[in-house]
Structure 1
């Protein structure tokens, strides 16, 4: 079953992030998921088994660092390890790339350049 995206989010710039969060109790998880699902830039957030958080957000207006700040505000932290650091570096890279692509003005090299007046 496919989920309809929020009207405010541009589907081509949606990024899905999957990370293991530690240190959250049941009430904290519910509050975090509630806040994420009601955030204007977040398309969808859910808790998966084994403390995994799955979030889809608009990469033009939000980043993984802001997501980490929200997790930290609830008292959580990411699982430590080499693989987590590697994924986090990749997430930051793709966040920057999506933001740059959203600002890019496309051009066609086969068009005649505009004439100066």
Structure 2
């Protein structure tokens, strides 16, 4: 895949796939919940499995993080499931998302370049 096969602002190199179990999702808030998440910059795809109550998210971790998505979920009356495994996955996702964002913003340094302002060519 290449960057052209994703929504605007989503880069293949920083694309992540996440799945979390939710509570409080019903027919009344499901569509508005998905629509609000999709409107966020950096989201590539959102699907929800009603039988297993799991939301599947694909997004660019350099533009958006899981905390922002969870805020939208809570705004619509739903929440992340309160079990041990979901909390472990959520913490791991947050850790990885932060590393991806930090690495995307990092400017590499090379010791083999002359210092700025020197007249060495």
After TM superposition, the score normalised by the length of structure 1 is: 0.85
Q: Pairwise mapping of residues 17-56 of structure 1 onto structure 2 (< 5 A)?
A: 17-48=18-49, 49-56=51-58
| Gaps in structure 1 of 5+ consecutive residues | none
Instruction: Quote the Cα distance in structure 2 between the aligned partners of 1:40 and 1:112.
Output: 36
What is aligned with 2:102? Answer: 100
Across the two proteins, how many residue pairs are aligned to each other? 114
CA distance in 2, matches of 1:88, 1:24: 18
- Gap runs ≥5 in structure 2: none
Quote the RMSD (CA, aligned, Å). 1.9
Cα deviation, 1:24-69, whole Å, max 9, x if unaligned, reads: 1112111111222232221110112411100111111211111111
The runs of 4+ residues in structure 1 deviating greater than 4 Å are: none
What's the CA shift string for 1:8-29, capped at 9, x where partnerless?
2111111211001111111211
